[in-house]
Amino acid sequence: MRRRHAILIGAASAAILASPAGAHPGHRHFQPVAGAKPSGADPARRTWLAGDHHVHSWYSVDWKPSADGKAPPEPIMAGDSRNTIRVNARQASAHGLAWMAATDHGGPSHSKLSKERAYPEVLQARKETPGLILFFGMELDTPGAEHSSVIVPKTPAERDTLFGIEKGYNRREPWPADTAWDTEQRMLDALNHMKSLPAPPVVIANHPSRTADGIGRYGKDSPHELRNWNDAAPNVAVGMEGAPGHQAGPLLPPDKADEEHRMRGAYRRAPTMGGFDQMTAVLGGFWDSMLGEGRRWWITSTSDSHRHYTDGGSDFWPGEYSKTYVKAVSSYDDVLEGLRNGRVFVTLGDLVSEADVTAQTADGAGKAEIGGALKVPRGSDVTIVIRLRDPAGKNFGGFSPSIARVDLIRGEVTGPVADRSTDKNPSTRVARRFGPSDWVRDGERLSMAFTLKNVTTDSYVRVRGTNGAELEPQPDAIGEDPWSDLWFYANPIFIEVAD
């Protein structure tokens, strides 16, 4: 199987074209994520580390009701997901991951199960798979929404930290069930609690459009709600799954699964697009509307692994199909800081293993990378350099995909929107499409560049790519082979103009 850990080195191509300029409305900036205490890592030592923050174990249980219905239900181990944390850790390492978060969801008094039984297994898995950074987290049954990953920093208090969050805010925790726990305000209370902790966790909205009933319509996770989360705790609620898990369902025979589970991500009513959630995949859509406000709102990609497709489930192993790459040194603190600050790109099917994007001024005095911001004088030229690794060899599906096209996307930053349900940024466009004739290839390494001329507006740039021919990702059909339609997305770089 292909392994994707080499460092990318390559020269940029000389493709330099003009980009239109527009008026610059006055606005306030959203500040970069302050986060928790900086990791202190040497940036020069950071490399791309693959991981997965949404992985279930046998502590994602089913529940056996009491005979009279008056006593709390009892957990049924392996009811919803049968793999142990130790197995998940070994599989993650075997499929090329450097880090993983154990994230089980809950139910009545599940916080006690997490504290007393899951956490000791996390400690054991860390001993058995020492090369893997293994976070103790959970999939929060999110008040007023669906689910979100909570990734807790590794500290001596990690067990008690997670226990307090789950016991106090998981909407399924109380018995009898209490609808007062299932409100957006309770989630805001949870975020306020988390941001006040000495070591704040990271929260990422999982499969945000899975409950939507169509493209351009939303379900339990709405645009205004995600804005409220980010406003309440910008150092905690930092993003969403760009590509959901459950993408192996289409590989199941039609007589072994219903239509919903044969859709990529189990997104039946609002299908994924190239394997990505509509909130990410629609050009000029929700993600771009968040970036157009200047929000540091990042995307990730996960397995949501419960049960492998060869075992009757609809999932891949962690790292088998989907990877979230964080630029970090191999430490708990720096990986979490990378997630918090958007030093992240995501890929399906191991289409790429490295994606270095930089924005730099003509004189080379200013430079910013993925997740960062470049400050330039008004009217400057800014060159975007893209360096990718398109590795040889086969992925875990037995295929050797190649990049067919890379898109450089640009949008304007105009500040906070008046309508918090907004899911559009009309300024977003593809500034440049690169094909094989437009980049320089050196073995597995691809390099390309494009110059934004006379930059007069605050803006952002982001990069995506595919092995296919679709100019824009199209809705995925029932039973579509996930290995045939692959995309990668990099998080943005902001360009801030000063007079």
Asked if residue 409 lies in contact with residue 428, where contact means CB atoms within 8 angstroms, the answer is: yes
Report the pLDDT value the prediction gives residue 35, as an integer from 0 to 100.
61
Q: What is the mean pLDDT of each run of 10 residues along the chain (499 residues)?
A: 36 32 35 72 97 98 92 93 97 98 97 98 98 98 98 98 98 97 98 97 98 95 98 98 97 87 92 98 98 98 97 96 98 98 98 98 90 96 98 96 98 97 98 98 98 97 98 96 98 96
List of domains in the chain: 46-498 (3.20.20.140)
Report the pLDDT value the prediction gives residue 15, as an integer from 0 to 100.
33
Report the pLDDT value the prediction gives residue 115, as an integer from 0 to 100.
98
Report the pLDDT value the prediction gives residue 154, as an integer from 0 to 100.
98
Report the pLDDT value the prediction gives residue 32, as an integer from 0 to 100.
55
Report the pLDDT value the prediction gives residue 256, as an integer from 0 to 100.
81
What's the CA gap between 104 and 304, in Å, rounded? 10
What's the CA gap between 247 and 270, in Å, rounded? 15
Residue type, 406: V
Report the pLDDT value the prediction gives residue 34, as an integer from 0 to 100.
63
Report the pLDDT value the prediction gives residue 260, as an integer from 0 to 100.
85
Report the pLDDT value the prediction gives residue 10, as an integer from 0 to 100.
32
Report the pLDDT value the prediction gives residue 7, as an integer from 0 to 100.
30
Report the pLDDT value the prediction gives residue 217, as an integer from 0 to 100.
95
